[in-house]
Amino acid sequence: MRELAVESAYVQSRLALSLRPEGWSIIVGDALLVLKSIDPDTFRCCVTSPPYWGLRDYGVAGQIGGENELDDYIENLVNVFREVRRVLTEDGTLWLNLGDSYTSGNRTWRATDKKNPAREMSYRPPTPRGLKPKDLIGVPWRVAFALQADGWYLRADIIWHKPNCQPESVRDRPTIAHEYIFLLSKSEKYFYDYEAVKEPARKPGTSRNRRTVWRIRTRPYPEAHFATFPPRLAEPCVLAGSEAGDAVLDPFFGSGTVGEVCVKLGRKFTGIEIKEEYAALARRRLGWEE
């Protein structure tokens, strides 16, 4: 990985860097600002899960997901991922995990969720224009289409089927048991290690091209009071999107799941995280500090 060229004084004043000689780094800062300071062609792939719209309050200025308007949330993500595209190699890919949500029905706050304290929001965004109370918003697809319009190639929608999904107290629709992972590429032709992610076929001892439904149990990281994705979800993304020794990016690093997977699979990585507390958690997870 090339050296991070940190140009802007503003970014420099905010950045707290943890760099490892192995090519592993965690940067504390705002994803957009930090990305602007990174050289083009630095990463082979990006595997990430941005904050979902209106679901969690991470309690930090500049956080994405707390926008009052859905369009602002989408625009902020498009801006971040435009920078991601710039820092990817020409054959690079983006593996983007997103879940959907419902309009608030014009409630303006979300009650405390005892099982999941980070879900408590001091506000709830209003129903977006054109939608009605109780509508499924379709956030993942809206983001995917906006990224496509911005120049990304939208190559696959992968369903992450969660067999142990959160129960919901609803009686007028099925319980949500899936999220999306979009595979997007910078160019028409791109690196995809088909062999590395093949799955077993029916005939014993044979394998086939991986399918678009991945059945993976959620596995919260014990110390993290926010949505983490399980290592088993990040693994096929890293395996298909990079080769050993390549550098992988996660601009919304959280507890550092992508970092852990990269260490295991022999990749370099850069994680960007706006909240120092979460970056510290990731460093502990990776055994960098007590």
Ligand X SMILES: C[S@@+](CC[C@H](N)C(=O)[O-])C[C@H]1O[C@@H](n2cnc3c(N)ncnc32)[C@H](O)[C@@H]1O
Chain contacts with ligand X (rule: CB under 6 A): 30-31, 49-51, 58, 62-64, 224, 226-229, 252, 254-255, 257, 272-275, 278
**Is-contact 228 246, C-beta < 8 A?**
no
Sign of the torsion angle spanned by Cα atoms 235, 288, 43, 7: positive
Q: What does the longest C-alpha to C-alpha distance in the chain come to?
A: 60
Cβ at position 254, least distance to ligand X in Å = 3
Cβ at position 171, least distance to ligand X in Å = 29
Closer residue to ligand X (CB): 127 or 142? 142
Whose CB is nearest to ligand X? 254
Closer residue to ligand X (CB): 88 or 279? 279
Distance CA 182, CA 171 (A): 29
Distance CA 114, CA 283 (A): 27
Long-range contacts at 241-244 (CB < 8 A, ≥ 24 apart): 241/44, 241/45, 241/47, 241/92, 241/93, 241/95, 241/191, 241/192, 241/193, 242/44, 242/45, 242/191, 242/193, 242/267, 243/44, 243/191, 243/193
Cβ at position 221, least distance to ligand X in Å = 6
Closer residue to ligand X (CB): 179 or 246? 179
Closer residue to ligand X (CB): 127 or 259? 259
Closer residue to ligand X (CB): 90 or 123? 123
Cβ at position 133, least distance to ligand X in Å = 26
Cβ at position 23, least distance to ligand X in Å = 20
Closer residue to ligand X (CB): 127 or 265? 265
Cβ at position 7, least distance to ligand X in Å = 18
